[in-house]
Structures are given as C-alpha cells and as structure tokens.
Amino acid sequence: MPEFLREGQAVSDFMNPDKIVIGFKNLNGKNFARKVFQYFKKRTLFIETNFQTAEMIKYTNNAFFSTLISFANEIANISEKISGIDTFEVINALIADKRITTLMQKQKIIPEFTTYLFPGCGFGGSCFPKDVKAITAYASSVNAATPLLNSVLTINEERPRQIVLLAESLIGILKSKKISVLGLAFKPNTDDLRSSPSLEAIKILQKKKAVISVYDPVVRYTKLKSFGISNVNTCTTIEKCLKNSDLAIVFTKWEEFKSLNSKLLNKHMKRPLIIDGRGFLDKNKFRENEYYKIGYKK
C-alpha cells in the first residue's frame, strides 16, 4: 500500500486522499487492507492490483512530478541565455492553455499539478530523488532504457550550480565574498534537508572560498554536520544573516522571506543584491539591479 503523503501536509493528505492503492498477493491480504481503509471506501477511489503494479504506481507518481519540475528548469536554462525572457511568464502562458486550465461553469480550474511546473533550484526531499533513481536503476537491471528520467535527474543535479554561476556573474570571483543563504529545507513547512539544493550550492560556494551565513526558521543547525556542511555562520534572524553580506540567495519559499525588500537589504548588506532562487518574491519591492531571479536574464 504505497502512501501519497507530501511533507508538511501529511495529515491533510491522509484524511483527504485522491486515491488509495492496495497491492495484494492473495484474497486475505486484500480483505485486510480493505478493513484498514474502510473509513475511506465511499470517500475516494480505491485501486486494487498486484504488488508490482502498486509499486510502479508510486514510482510513476513521483517520477511524473519530478519530470514537470525538470521540464520547467530546462526551459529556464534556455531562457537564462537570452536577455528579456521571463520563464515564469512563459510557464503562466503555458498553464493558461485550455488543455491544462479548464472551464467549469464559467470558472477557470487550474490543476494543482501546475505548481510543479515552475522553475527553481531543483527538487529535493526523500521521495522524488530516491524514487526516480530507484525506477531508473531497476530499468537498467532489466535492460530498459530511461533517457527521459535520466535527464530529469541530470537537470535537477545541475540547478544548484546554475545558481552559483549566476552569483559569479553578479559579483565576480567568490573568494572571501560573504554569501547569505536564506532557507535550508528543500521546501517550506518542513525541516527536511535530504537532497536539499541549498546544501549542494553551499558546498560549491565553499569550494570557491566564499564565506557563508545561513538562516532557516525551522531547521536545527546541529543537523548540518551530518549532511557534510560545516564552517558556516548560523543565524537566528534574517537580519543577522544579511549583515555585511555581498549577496543573498533565497533557496526556500518560506512565507517569512516575503518580507524582504530594498530597505532591509540596504540597511544590513554591504551591497543590496539578492537572487530569488524560487522566483516567488515581489520584484517591485526592490530597486533596479538589486533583484535577480532564476529563469530570467536582464
């Protein structure tokens, strides 16, 4: 019985499932699973199948959403080479297509999967990277080619490096430059650091001898060492993290970060300059040449 729970929304997802998949080997196992989930029988779709199909459903679910993210990031990779293209405008136009956004009773219904269609620093967490790697590894063992899913992983692994390249284009050689990393968790409403793009970016920045300060409202900094991160200045507030910084980079879409603006940057930073690694901040809160984001080249 694969679970389909998102980190940070596990209780809501458990109580309001869009489907319950039961993989069974015999009738006794199927009947037992039916009793366990009897409460949901009239509330959602039940899919009863064999073990192999149930496992493939889970892998396909996560591989699909991972593919959407890497698709958006590949479009961003192209757009970042051409001045004036805003990938977020491109994706919003795509979502407006009637084959994606449908009309019901004259109301536009935007599918929730479109939230995975926007570019960013890359996907992380335990499920997406693990499950895409698992399905490609199994495919390889049975001589099935997976060029698409291999590319999904390659594109994702390159996104933190793209952020660092943007940083270098803005402030030049990174040695001895102070970089403020805002957000460590791979997504908001969780403290999960597994496969977090911010950690990979920090490692690349440190290889270039940058000085790193970090701030995350939830993550316990004692966990960083187990993920190979050391020699960073851990901060308890945004302001402390920004102090005397040459560049700030936002990696996590924490609601708190929406308070960032030109006044705050000018007050605390050596030079007011920010990279929005998730493209979710209001650019109108910043002066010209202070705000940059992934998926857009000025």
- Residues tagged active-site: 127
Cα 171 from chain centre: 25
Using the CB atoms, write b or e for 154-184: b if 16+ within 10 Å: ebbebbbebbbebbbeeeeebeebbbbbbbb
How far apart, in Å, are the Cα atoms of 111 and each of 47, 57, 188, 216?
22, 20, 21, 30
* Helix axis angle, 197-207 to 147-171, nearest 10°: 50
CB neighbours (10 Å) of residue 82? 9
Under 8 Å between Cβ of 179 and 173? no
Residues 6+ positions from 74 with CB-CB distance below 8 Å: 155
Under 8 Å between Cβ of 252 and 278? yes
Q: In the beta sheet, which residues pair with residue 248?
A: 180, 274
